[in-house]
Amino acid sequence: MQNTPIVAFDQVNKSFGNFVAVENVSFEIGRGEFLAIMGSSGCGKTTTLRMLAGLEAPSQGRILLDGEEVGDKPTWSRDTPMVWQSLALFPFLTVQENVEFGLKMRKVPRKERIERARKWLDRLGILEFADRNIAQLSGGQRQRVALARSLVTEPKILLLDEPLSALDAHLKVRMQSVLSNLQKDLGITFVYVTHSMSEAFSMADRVIIMSRGKVEQIGTPEEIFHHPTNRFVAEFLGSSNIFTGVISSVNGDTLSVRTKEGVFEIRNQKKLEKQAGDSISFTVRSEQLKLDLEDSKPLLNSIVATVVGEEFSGAMANIFLETADGLELQVQKPHEEIRKLGVRHNRNVVAYFDPDQCHILSEG
Amino acid sequence: MRHHASLFGLTLALPLLIWQLLFFVAPLAFLVALSFWTVRNFQMQPDFDVSNWVRIYTREVFWQAYLRSLILATAATVLTSAIAFPAAYAISFKLSESAKRWIVFILVIPFFTSYLVRVYSLQVFLSDAGILNAALGYFGLGPVLMLNNTFGVLVGLVTLCLPLVILLQTFSLNFVNRDLVEAAHNLRCGPLATVFRVIVPSAKVGLIIAALFSFILSFGDFVSPLYLGGGNPPTLSIMITDITKSGQQWPRAAVVAITMIVSLLIVAFASIRFAYKERGR
């Protein structure tokens, strides 16, 4: 059992009437893994989590929980505690009673119930509030109560539905480390749904990116960030320099790509199966896009564009460019370099890149 | 600026204030004064005489009527709340939004017809030769005495209160956070247990206010005890009419009325206090 994944989704579909919320989703979650499911609202991430919790039944496909097919099994017969975005703490119960609730439902004797609840309140640093009313707690304290309530039954898996979205930025970061440490200490599986890239990428071992009900990419934060497989993921992660075109010739690892902005030479580093005539998309990261003045000598892979904006980002400046065709580019450079070049608003510049410094999106 | 703002607030509150002073506080004050007046030769005379209070409070029949009114109102409230809750639950949790709107509309319809007319029709329905007993007779049962007894009164009172209580309960259940219900399920609380452990406590304030309305309506009602209960033994409302009819004893009727109002105030205050009581420190 130890080697089987704790969760397996196999071709799972979910529709509400004519609306398809989740389409053909398959993935596995390993034991002790911190998995984040990420996407914008309406992408199906919450529905996926709710099916795992047993709050929705899949329309098609199989969901295996700890090796057992759970499909229609209601949530009260599963062991998949969830932390809600609204936290869903019972306002008519005290902090202690909230945490005891799950134990009470399992008919744990009173004495043991109190002990275990107090142990978890202590572990999360909120024991002093045990007799308080929920309304008297701060956002961060409520968060901890919700965690204690879900973890007190010592489940193998914890589901979290955007639990930090209501907190301010500072508290969010603190709770992220609380969650990370908790997950490492307990060694149980966390499934974390969020629309925030910083939350997903800072905590998760692996991330699933979803859009319009489908899985776009699964991988470690590193893999996804550096090697997005398609245009959606690249755009979703904020890559701004995405080029799309058709391969005009292949010369070993070097591909010539004809795009609206001109012909570019790029290196096929991952040795993907590509032939002349294939359509292809690739990105160039904003810090790897170089900049020069328009009247300089002709360069390989260059694009003429107009400076339309500038933004400070710590030690770096983000320069926003736009080509005559309306393609938007973003270049990140130290302030020093920008000043030396004499980049100004409305000025025409040349952006160029090295064939080795582009990333091909494998799914076109 | 502050001055203007409070003036604005006062202006908004003014109509209610005037109305309440004119038609509630003033008559009530008059009622209190009236309870100390005396009656000579069927004529009321302003006076300060506590004999009306002594006279009413020392009569056993008054306390019997008081007890009967309390028991009837309590029984009607418990019955109405218990019958209304499953309906309100189904409306709030199981019906679609459009079905909900229709049901709310249907629940308002009983208020279109006079309560008195409805009670007269219930008389026909419940009498020994009435429709219900005819139906029972068809199966060789009955006739069962359903009129001029406590059963009849309760049928009237529950019919009076039911639509209002279902509406109030439905509105309060509509405000129950659905996440709480799912969270309870998720913590292994089954559907039925969730009703009692989560839904009822969440809707507590609304459910208690609904019950309070039922109690107030039943406690003061005069129609059902008279036309369906036969007026004997009397309730406090019936007692008031009896007292006023016999020898213009308005001052003594005022004593009974004030006792009723004070009792309702105590019940209302206690139940609202209970409704808003919070757990924990």
Phi and psi at A359, nearest 5°, equal -120, 120
Residue A94 to residue B186, Cβ atoms within 8 A: no
Query: Domain span at residue B237?
Result: 60-275
Q: Do A97 and B187 touch (CB under 8 A)?
A: no
Residue B115 in any domain: the answer is yes
Same domain, A228 and A248: no
Domain boundary among A179, A202, A234: A234
Residue of B nearest to A153 (CA): B187
Same domain, A70 and A198: yes
Residues A183, A194 share a domain: yes
Cross-strand partners of A25: A12
Q: Tell me the C-alpha distance between A37 and A52, whole Å.
A: 12
Number of domains in chain A: 2
Cβ of B280 within 8 Å of Cβ of A84? The answer is no
Q: Is B205 on the interface with A (CB under 8 A)?
A: no
In a domain, B42, yes or no: no
pLDDT for B253 beyond 50:
yes
How many structural domains does chain B have? 1
Full residue range of the structural domain in which residue A320 is found:
236-361
Question: How many angstroms separate the CA of residue A80 from the nearest CA in chain B?
Answer: 7
- Local structure of residue B130 (DSSP, 8 states): S
Beta carbons of B186 and A93 less than 8 Å apart: no
- Report which of B49, B1, B10 is spatially closest to residue B249, judged by C-alpha positions: B49
Give the pLDDT score at B57.
95
Which residues lie across from A283 on neighbouring strands?
A242, A359
Residue A164, pLDDT > 70, answer yes
Residue B22, in any domain of the structure:
no
B3 pLDDT band, cuts 50/70/90, is low
Instruction: From A234, A265, A291, give the residue that closes a domain.
Output: A234
Model confidence over A91-142: pLDDT tens digits? 999 999 999 999 999 999 999 999 999 999 999 999 999 999 999 999 999 9
Helix then strand then coil, % of chain B, to nearest 5: 75, 0, 20
- What's the average model confidence in pLDDT over A5-18? 95
Least confident interval from A61-65, A88-92, A280-284: A280-284
Query: Domain with A337 in it: what CATH number?
Result: 2.40.50.100
Residues A230 and A252 in one domain: no
Contact call for B281 and A84, based on CB within 8 A = no
Grouping H, G, I as helix, E, B as strand and the rest as coil, residue A30 is coil
Q: Are residues A81 and A226 in the same domain?
A: yes
Cross-chain CB nearest to B281 (options A80, A106, A133): A133
Substitution target from B177, B185, B186, B274 for chain A, most A beta carbons within 10 A:
B186
Examine residue B50 and state whether it is found in any structural domain, yes or no. no
Judge whether A120 and A98 are in contact, CB under 8 Å: no
The pLDDT value given to residue B1:
47
Count of residues in chain B: 281
Instruction: Give residue A12's pLDDT.
Output: 97
Secondary structure class of A287 (helix, strand, coil): coil
DSSP 3-state of A212: coil
Within-domain flag for B264: yes
CB A167 within 8 A of CB A146: no
Q: Is B183 on the interface with A (CB under 8 A)?
A: yes
CATH number, domain containing residue A94: 3.40.50.300
The model's confidence at residue B245, banded by pLDDT at 50, 70 and 90, is confident
Q: Which of A191-195, A287-291, B70-74 has the lowest mean pLDDT?
A: A287-291
Q: What are phi and psi of A59, to 5 degrees?
A: -75, -35
User: Among A286, A313, A297, A314, which Cα is nearest to A350's?
Assistant: A297
The DSSP line for A124-175 is TT-GGGTTSBGGGS-HHHHHHHHHHHHHTT--SEEEEESTTTTS-HHHHHHH
Q: Which residues of A touch B278 (CB under 8 A)?
A: 133, 135
Task: Note whether residue A92 is domain-resident.
Answer: yes
Does the residue A263 lie in any domain?
A: yes
Identify the pLDDT of residue B191: 95
Do the beta carbons of residue A237 and residue A219 sit within 8 Å? no
Lowest mean pLDDT among A4-18, A197-211, B79-93, B243-257: B243-257
B51 found inside a domain:
no
Same-domain status, A55 and A146 = yes
Terminal-residue alpha carbon distance, chain B: 38
Residues A117 and A132 in one domain: yes
B21-43 residue pLDDT tens: 999 999 999 999 999 999 888 88
Residue A205 pLDDT level (bands cut at 50, 70, 90) = very high
Residue B9 in any domain: the answer is no
Residues A130, A51 share a domain: yes
Query: Residue A53: its chain B contacts at CB < 8 A?
Result: 186
Do A109 and A225 lie in one domain? The reply is yes
Instruction: Provide the mean pLDDT of chain B.
Output: 92
Is residue A260 scored above 60 in pLDDT?
yes
Q: Does B186 touch chain A (CB under 8 A)?
A: yes
The per-residue pLDDT for A71 is 84
Interface membership of B60 toward A (CB under 8 Å): no
Please determine, for residue A301, whether its predicted confidence score (pLDDT) is greater than 60.
yes
Would you place residue B281 in the very low, low, confident or very high pLDDT band (cuts 50, 70, 90)? low
Average pLDDT over residues A170-182: 93
Q: For tokens 């908790």, what's the residue?
A: A182
CATH of the domain at B270: 1.10.3720.10
Q: Which residues of B touch A90 (CB under 8 A)?
A: 180, 183-184, 198, 201-202
Q: What is the pLDDT of residues B123-168, one digit of tens each?
A: 999 998 888 889 998 998 878 888 999 999 999 999 999 999 999 9
Q: Does residue A1 surpass a pLDDT of 80?
A: no
Taking CB atoms and an 8 Å limit, are B280 and A80 in contact across chains?
no
Question: Is B187 an interface residue toward A (CB < 8 Å)?
Answer: yes
Q: Is the pLDDT of residue B5 over 70?
A: no
On whether residue A1 sits in a domain, the answer given is no
Which residue shows structure tokens 């199989």? A62
A215 and A283: one domain? no
Considering the domain architecture, whether residues A250 and A212 belong to the same structural domain is answered as no
Residues A243 and A230 in one domain: no
Alpha helices in A204-311 (DSSP H): 221-226, 231-236
Where does a domain end: A201, A217, A234? A234
- Range name among A74-78, A85-89, A359-363 with the lowest pLDDT average: A359-363
Tally of CB atoms within 10 A around A264: 22
B99 assigned to some structural domain: yes
What pLDDT is recorded for position A297? Answer: 65
Q: Pick from A54, A84, A92: which is nearest to B179 by CB?
A: A84
Kindly identify which residue of chain B lies nearest to residue A87, measuring between CA atoms: B179
Tell me how crowded residue B74 is: count the other CB atoms within 10 A of its CB. 16
Whether A2 is covered by a domain: the verdict is no
**Structure confidence at residue B9 (pLDDT):** 84
